[in-house]
Structure 1
Amino acid sequence: MKLLVFVTEYSAADSAVDALVEQGFRVTRLASTGGFLRKGNTTLLVGVEDNAVDQAVALASRAAPGSLVITLDLERYERI
């Protein structure tokens, strides 16, 4: 299991979320600010199975080109 963290421009976040949700991914959307100009961004958190990482990254990169993607290993993932 992996946790994908996408940092996107605010203006591209809606299309990235829509693309991921349409393919069955669950997405948590967070407002974030960073960078030199303190520009508004959106951070998307997506928990995926190992074999779905490439699909999720491809969807997000088409919908929000230029996004930063961080992939983290999850030792445990549980929905409560």
Structure 2
Amino acid sequence: MHGTKFTDRDRLTDMLLLTNSLAGGYHSAALESATPKLRAALAELHAEELKDAETLFNAMEERGWYRPEPAGPPNMR
């Protein structure tokens, strides 16, 4: 990335995107796992990613870098 500054905002955004992707992968794998032991292990990894995502989200929101739209009738499903 010659000439491009990778900011703290960029780092947190990248980490949040990765964490969300990992959580989705663990979720899908847990749903399709063949054994209870594997399902439990994947569910634990999924829960850890959810905690990490919350931490990253809060850090970004505190800095004004992440402002989700309020949920209203058009945005609720």
Instruction: State TM-score, norm by structure 2.
Output: 0.32
Structure with the bigger percentage of helix = 2
Greater relative CO, 1 or 2 (CA 8 Å, sep 6+)? 1
Instruction: State TM-score, norm by structure 1.
Output: 0.31
The structure having more radius of gyration, on CA atoms, is 2
